[in-house]
Chain A
Amino acid sequence: MEIVHVDTKLRREFGPPALFSDRIEELLLDLHPDPSLAAQFIQKTHRDQAVQACRQMSEHQINTERFQSNSCGLNHVEGGWPKDINPNEMEQTIRFRKKVEKDDGYINSILQLGSVMEHRIKQNNSIDIYQQYFDEEEEVEEIQEPPSAKTINVFRDPNELKRTITGLSWHPDGGRKLAAAYSCLEFQKTSRNTSLDSYIWDIENPNHPEVTLKPASLLVCLDYNPKDSHTLVGGCYNGQIAYWDTRKGSQPVEYSSMEHSHRDPVYKIIWLQSKTGTDAFSASTDGQILWWDVRKLSEPTERLVLDPSREGNLDRALGAISLEFEATMPTKFMVGTEQGLVVSCNRKAKTPAEKIVCTYDGHHGPIYALQRNPFFPKNFLTVGDWTARIWSEDIKESSIMWSKYQMSYLMDACWSPVRPSIFFTVKMDGMLDIWDILFKQSDPTLSLKVCDKPLYSLRVQDNGRLVACGSQSGEATLLEICSGLSTLQKNEKSLVAAMFERETKREKILEARQREIRLKERSRSEQSKDDETGREDDEEDSEQLIAKVESDFYSLVEAEFRRRQRREETPQEHNKEVKNGVETDETEDETGETRK
């Protein structure tokens, strides 16, 4: 039942009905602002304040603790058997099985299942429902995605005092491990507390290096043996070579003797192709290239002094910074020097003088990287000062292709092992550039900022997809290149070959032209040498010419001067005339109207 409140009032009690009528408006009150009152108030500065009716929130950032995980295998054992039966005992299992087979439920189920299954088996046998009806054309054209690369992992130097990663080497079998050499190349920047260790990282585990290598002095470079993936050889800051076997622990198995090693840091060491698989050679800025047999590191097997005058003089030797060795050409190798020259050498030459075959002069500064194109061994890439240059072995005067001067120093470069037209460079501003010479020659195809610190080293893995670069602060960044840049395109080899040929030809033509011009000049000067008077005439001619030119000049100047003077003398009259002319003109004008 609803409760209702009712108010009743008789109509006549309301009073007389209201009669509304219009009236004109009249001002009742007009209050003016009183400025004198303003003196009692102080104007507050404007403030913008947002008002929102919500709860007060604040933002915090939390970093979770690193979760340590460990992988281990698990051994599975057959289970499901009832407790009293031992699965390993044949008799017990057979007895159990026989018992089950006698069970009624089993029999019924099998009969049912049997019919179901038979039907399907017969189906399968009659028609292949997965048959391909239309033989499609292979490989739909892939959509051209913009090139990209993403960072997969960053391996940081676990020590407090960070060192630069100056050398990187991928594990030869599949590249699951990366060896990094840590050192400090800045003069006298190493303190006593700097750790001497270098590490081998497993690319799946960036938290903890897999193997630690403990040399006696900082390692500047290292290399995995391509034949034996457990052994590494490394060059130290003090000039020694050290040989490790990862199965035997962190300490090197052997060191080269101090007297016979390099006298400067070993900048590059590479394994050689040999029957025993134990040969390596190293280069250093003391001007020597030394060959070693790792079984006996007490003395180098061979020595070469990089003297361009081929006299073996150590004082005049060029300091070597990079080495290049291609297994397909085991007798030749190339050295990049601090002075900007690339020296091509032949190991099998009879005399030391003949070992140095030729030099290529291209860079203004040390050549930090030198590598032959894996597909076209006649062409090699050098990187130094602010450019990257591609050379052809036949052209010694200049490189066939070069990049323009970059904003920062290029520190390392390498070709992609899968695509002949791609190479990678790293710079001092922390950028990794990927150049595709078939796509664009003037600029890199892809430029990535890897880190804020300068990048010192770079290595591509053999599958061409993973790139590791090492920075000054001891960080090794692992990047994955998109498939567009790491898969061989159609016709790529032939296009790149054509490009190299074209550039080589151009350089050859230029070289030939240069030679022609030089010959002409030489012949001209020779002619003048034969003719003595001719030479004097020439000299006189040149003197006379100068005198003539001088006199010509002075006479011209004098003539001009005289002309000006003449103008100044006559200009007074000239001006007067002009003025009169003007005045008369004016008077004419004034009186023009009257006259006219």
Chain B
Amino acid sequence: MKVDVEGTLKRIESYKGVIGTIVVNAEGIPIRSTLDNSTTVQYAGLLRHLAAMARSSVRDIDPQNDLTVLRIHSKKYEIMVAPENNYLLIVIQNPCE
């Protein structure tokens, strides 16, 4: 079981263009990260709130609906945030052209 988790995460991290991966728990503590500590903390803190707001917006419009992925495409890279019950998976990818 643990191997699967490790394998999944390793696979994600090794995809083409992926700059970093962060797993954050409900309190905002980064459990696992491939980036340095300060960047991790920054991403975790900022994106947690954003994902929560996005989720509540989606559910406000349609209570049966739920947020699957929040994608922030910026000039330099794309940040993808996927929320789950208690955890948050953040992946930063540089989309290849």
Binding site for B on A (CB under 8 A): 78-82, 96-97, 100-102, 105-107, 109-118, 120-122, 124-125, 128, 130-131
**How many Å lie between the Cα of A105 and that of B2 in the bound state?**
12
A111 B41 Cβ-Cβ under 8 A: no
The answer to whether residues A121 and B73 also contact, given A110-B5, A111-B5, A113-B84 and a CB cut-off of 8 A, is no
Binding site for A on B (CB under 8 A): 1-2, 4-5, 8-9, 11-12, 15-18, 23, 25, 27-29, 31-32, 41, 68-69, 71, 73, 78, 80, 82, 84-87, 89, 91, 93, 95-97
User: Which chain B residue shows the least CB distance to A112?
Assistant: B84
A124 B17 Cβ-Cβ under 8 A: yes
B80 A117 Cβ-Cβ under 8 A: yes
**New contact pairs (4) apart from A100-B31, A114-B9, A117-B80, CB-CB < 8 Å:** A116-B68, A116-B69, A121-B80, A124-B78
A124 B95 Cβ-Cβ under 8 A: yes
CB pairs A–B below 8 angstroms (21 shown): A96-B29, A100-B31, A101-B5, A101-B31, A106-B31, A109-B86, A110-B9, A111-B4, A111-B5, A113-B82, A114-B11, A114-B12, A114-B89, A117-B82, A120-B80, A121-B18, A121-B80, A128-B95, A128-B96, A128-B97, A130-B95
**How many Å lie between the Cα of A106 and that of B89 in the bound state?**
11
**How many Å lie between the Cα of A106 and that of B15 in the bound state?**
22
Report A-chain residues with C-beta under 8 Å of the C-beta of B25: 100, 106
B68 A130 Cβ-Cβ under 8 A: no
**How many Å lie between the Cα of A101 and that of B2 in the bound state?**
8
**How many Å lie between the Cα of A593 and that of B4 in the bound state?**
144
Question: Shortest CB–CB separation between residue B95 and chain A, in angstroms?
Answer: 4
Q: Which among A105, A109, A131 has the greatest number of chain B C-beta atoms within 10 A? A: A109
**How many Å lie between the Cα of A121 and that of B4 in the bound state?**
19
A121 B9 Cβ-Cβ under 8 A: no
A106 B73 Cβ-Cβ under 8 A: no
The answer to whether residues A121 and B93 also contact, given A105-B86, A110-B23, A113-B82 and a CB cut-off of 8 A, is yes
User: Which chain B residue shows the least CB distance to A110?
Assistant: B5
A116 B82 Cβ-Cβ under 8 A: yes
A109 B84 Cβ-Cβ under 8 A: yes
Report A-chain residues with C-beta under 8 Å of the C-beta of B32: 97, 101
A130 B16 Cβ-Cβ under 8 A: no
